[in-house]
Amino acid sequence: MKKQPLWTRDFLGISFISFFLFIVFYILLTTLPIYVLNELEGNETQVGLIVSVFLIAAVLCRPLTGKWIDQLGRKKILLSSVMIFFISSFLYLWTDSIPLLLALRFLHGIGFGMATTATGAIIADIVPNRRKGEGLGYYALFMNLAMVIGPFAGLTIIQFTSFSLLFILCAILALIALLLSLLVRIPEVDTSIAVTKQPAKFSFASFFEKNAIPVSIVGGVLALAYSGILSFISVYASELGLLKAASFFFVVYAASIVLSRPFTGRWFDLYGENKIIYPSILLFAIGMVLLSQAESTFLFLFSAAIIGLGYGSLSPSLQTIAIKNSDPTKRGLATSTFFTFFDSGIGLGSYALGVVAVYTSLSTLYLVLAGVVLLALLAYYLLHGKESAAKSIIHNEADASI
């Protein structure tokens, strides 16, 4: 059988749209706290609000976006959401007060939540069915690269130039995403089918895809554990006297993902999800234990590599399962369901772990989070892995009888 093409023009187009969306997100994530404290003379509480408001807006709009994608069409939602994202990125040039910035962050969060839900649903349609794990893994790689490039670019720019130039750069990057959205060809499903299947009134089923919920719960728990790294890794490095190494943590993390991606996605398609998910969760837990014991630059960065191998494979794999388990006409809803749980895990984790960190050391916190990761392994087994293994056995027996 001829291998279905993966690296098509449209696959690259959506992947680069996602890359530019996320690079703006990470540039602002790392630089706005400095902008609030130094330029707007705000405080640490307001810094937290700047991050939280954005995330709350993204979480609130994702279920609605998933419903709109399946009913109104991918192209319309993609264009409108990236337009909101571009306008928001441009308006940072005129935010000269905390209230204005909070309002803009809410609007920007809506654009980001809608756009990333749309790109996730579109890429699921573009990637060939037999290469779903591989394709979504490579798609996630573009987001991982943005996570490394964004903070480095943002911090470098404000160190040598000004926030005005930084905001102009963000607007230009968002404009590139918008132009790509106009050019990319998007396969449309029959929206009339999706509409007739949707309840006429507001209900849980109209905003969440029930078949995607089990693995989305697992994704949310793992995201909660990962939020401990996003929120406190620089503080932890400073406590250890390894602040210089902190800037390389995500570089090593991303390098680990880049090196593993060519075969992890392919193994997912060839051998099934359990052969990837179980080892990846265990590697994530081991990486967190190593991080909790890090006292040297080597062990600190080695833990980043192990976490990259583990957690870096989990998000695209779980998203693939959520999509594969759902009706093709509900891929938008399945994508929004997964990211709603994922974003909620990050948001709740950042706040809850901040409270816990006051009463314990960060080393102990990371050790506890290793236990949370192992709980996610149990949750995966109960919610999906056991059933997936049973189906695999039945499938293999059927193949053997032919």
pLDDT of residue 401: 52
Whether the model pTM is above 0.85: no
Contact partners, residue 271, CB within 8 Å, separation at least 6: none
**What pLDDT sits at residue 100?**
95
Mean pLDDT within 149-158 = 82
What pLDDT does 194 receive?
47
Q: What pLDDT was estimated at residue 200? A: 46
d(Cα 90, Cα 173) in Å, to the nearest integer?
10
User: 115 and 85 in contact (C-beta within 8 Å)?
Assistant: yes
Angle of the 132-160 helix axis to the 297-324 helix axis, nearest 10: 130
Q: Is the dihedral of CA 175, 179, 184, 189 positive or negative?
A: positive
Which range is least confidently modeled, 114-118, 310-314, 326-330?
326-330
Q: What is the pLDDT of residue 292?
A: 94
d(CA 13, CA 122): 11
Whole-Å CA distances, 294 to 230, 283, 288, 297, 298: 17, 16, 10, 8, 8
The owner of tokens 């179980």 is 278
**What pLDDT does 205 receive?**
58
How many residues appear in the chain?
Answer: 402
SS3 content of the chain, % helix, strand, coil (to 5): 90, 0, 10
Give the pLDDT confidence of 46-56 residue by residue, as tens digits: 776 777 788 88
pLDDT at position 394: 55
Task: Report whether 398 contacts 244 (CB < 8 A).
Answer: no
* Token duo for residue 220: 């949310």
> Model confidence at 201, in pLDDT bands (50, 70, 90)?
low
pLDDT of residue 305 exceeding 90, the answer is yes
What number is the average pLDDT over the span 114-139? Answer: 83
pLDDT at 199 over 50: no
How large is the average pLDDT for residues 55-63? 84
165, 62 Cβ separation under 8 angstroms: no
Q: Which domains does the chain have, with CATH numbers?
A: 7-185 (1.20.1250.20), 208-402 (1.20.1250.20)
Is the Cβ–Cβ distance between 364 and 232 less than 8 Å?
no
Per-residue pLDDT at 232 exceeds 80: no
Could you tell me which residues come within 8 angstroms of residue 225 by beta carbon, excluding any fewer than 6 positions away? 284, 288, 349, 369, 370, 372, 373, 376
